[in-house]
Amino acid sequence: MANVKTNTLPVRLGGPLHFTLASSPAALSGDVNNYALSDETVLRIDGGLADRTLTGIDGGAEGRVLYLLNVGTTNKLTLSHQSGSSLAANRVVGGGASDVVVRHGAGAMLMYDATASRWRVISEPDIDADGPGDVVGPASSADNNVPRYDTTTGKLIQASNLAIGDTGVATMTTGANGSTMVDGFLTEIHTLAAAATSDTVIGIPAGAVVSHVALRVTTLITGATSFDLGIAGTTSRYGDDLAVTAGTVSVTADPRAYAAPTLLRFTANGGDFTAGAVRVDIHYKLATAPTS
């Protein structure tokens, strides 16, 4: 391969620039570490039957330029950012410290930085909003809001009225006046008090409609021969004469509204509780009043 080198003078080209050293290797059969180059400037890669990842490229030298083309017809080619799966000198630095995804039919330009001993992606593929699989959303969003499709293209999303919090509680804003419907869930691993009854820390919110209460005995219950689960005054509403052995489960569907905050109560049968623990879940719905 002939080299042209100048340390002081600019190089001017009076016509088109052609890269004649191109390679079209066999389609990849999997992800590749330390991809081996020869003398090519243009590398035409076909990912074969699936999306592929290159974690690094062997053959870097100061200032070497590589045009990488994804000539596959359906799949993506990903250049991993600083992947530890390849040797340090073969790794790729992506813009924004991110992986670079080259969609089929697109390409990327890389240059080797010998000072850092890394390939740098200096021209990333454009993301076309109309391209397959690309989704475009608004400039900002509300925390925890679930996106929904806008129009029928499958590529545009917009905000929704549904938010799912970090604890799994879903809140639907049902109108411009601020009224909401909460699809709520509360859970607790309850360590039973050494007594005839033991009340939970979690409680049914005021105004909630409870749909289900579920439980699992996580630690053997001692002292009692069986137990009930309910509330004060109705002690077996959500479970009657349940077994004390670890692994006992119960799910009770009893839709019921509660006007005031209400704790669940475990009641011992055949003797007081002396030890044991139970996971208890409360599933409920709660409407809130309009704000205007």
Better-scored residue on pLDDT, 225 or 149: 225
Tell whether 65 is covered by a domain: yes
Domain containing residue 250: CATH number: 2.60.120
Residue 181 has a pLDDT of: 86
Tell whether 13 is covered by a domain: no
The per-residue pLDDT for range 193-236, each reduced to its tens digit, is 999 999 999 999 999 999 999 999 999 999 999 999 999 999 99
* 148 plus 90 within the same structural domain: no
pLDDT at 140 over 50: yes
Tell whether 42 is covered by a domain: yes
Tell whether 278 is covered by a domain: yes
* 283 plus 189 within the same structural domain: yes
Tell whether 72 is covered by a domain: yes
The pLDDT > 90 percentage for the chain reads 61
Better-scored residue on pLDDT, 110 or 14: 110
Look at the chain and report how many structural domains it folds into: 3
Residue 234 has a pLDDT of: 97
Which of 123, 149, 171 is at the close of a domain?
123
Residue 172 has a pLDDT of: 80
Residue 254 has a pLDDT of: 94
Q: Are strands 118-123 and 92-93 parallel, antiparallel or unpaired?
A: parallel
pLDDT at 278 over 70: yes
What's the mean pLDDT in 38-61? 93
* 192 plus 257 within the same structural domain: yes
Distances (CA, A) of 237 to 180, 228, 250: 28, 8, 12
Residue 33 has a pLDDT of: 97
Tell whether 5 is covered by a domain: no
Report whether 124 contacts 110 (CB < 8 A).
no
* 152 plus 206 within the same structural domain: no
Residue 153 has a pLDDT of: 75
pLDDT at 1 over 70: no
pLDDT band at 131 (very low <50, low <70, confident <90, very high): very low
Report whether 171 contacts 145 (CB < 8 A).
no
Which of 95, 123, 151 is at the close of a domain?
123
pLDDT band at 96 (very low <50, low <70, confident <90, very high): confident
Helix, strand, coil shares of the chain, percent, nearest 5, are 0, 45, 50
Tell whether 116 is covered by a domain: yes
What's the mean pLDDT in 71-98? 93
pLDDT band at 75 (very low <50, low <70, confident <90, very high): confident
Task: Give residues with Cβ within 8 angstroms of 45, minimum separation 6.
Answer: 25, 28, 52, 54, 68, 69, 70, 71, 72, 77
The per-residue pLDDT for range 245-261, each reduced to its tens digit, is 999 999 999 999 999 99
* 78 plus 117 within the same structural domain: yes
Residue 227 has a pLDDT of: 98
* 26 plus 114 within the same structural domain: yes
What b/e string do you get for 200-214 counting C-beta neighbours within 10 Å, with b at 16 or more? beebbbebbebbebb
What's the mean pLDDT in 166-193? 86
* 142 plus 53 within the same structural domain: no
* 75 plus 149 within the same structural domain: no
What's the mean pLDDT in 139-163? 82
The per-residue pLDDT for range 12-31, each reduced to its tens digit, is 666 776 776 789 999 999 99
Domain containing residue 60: 22-123
* 41 plus 114 within the same structural domain: yes
Residue 3 has a pLDDT of: 55
What's the mean pLDDT in 146-162? 82
* 195 plus 270 within the same structural domain: yes
* 199 plus 224 within the same structural domain: yes
Tell whether 277 is covered by a domain: yes
Rounded Cα–Cα distance for residues 122 and 191 (Å): 59
* 214 plus 282 within the same structural domain: yes
Indicate whether this model's pTM tops 0.85: no
Mean of pLDDT over the chain: 89
Distances (CA, A) of 280 to 52, 158, 187, 192: 45, 36, 6, 12
What is the radius of gyration, based on Cα positions, of the chain?
32
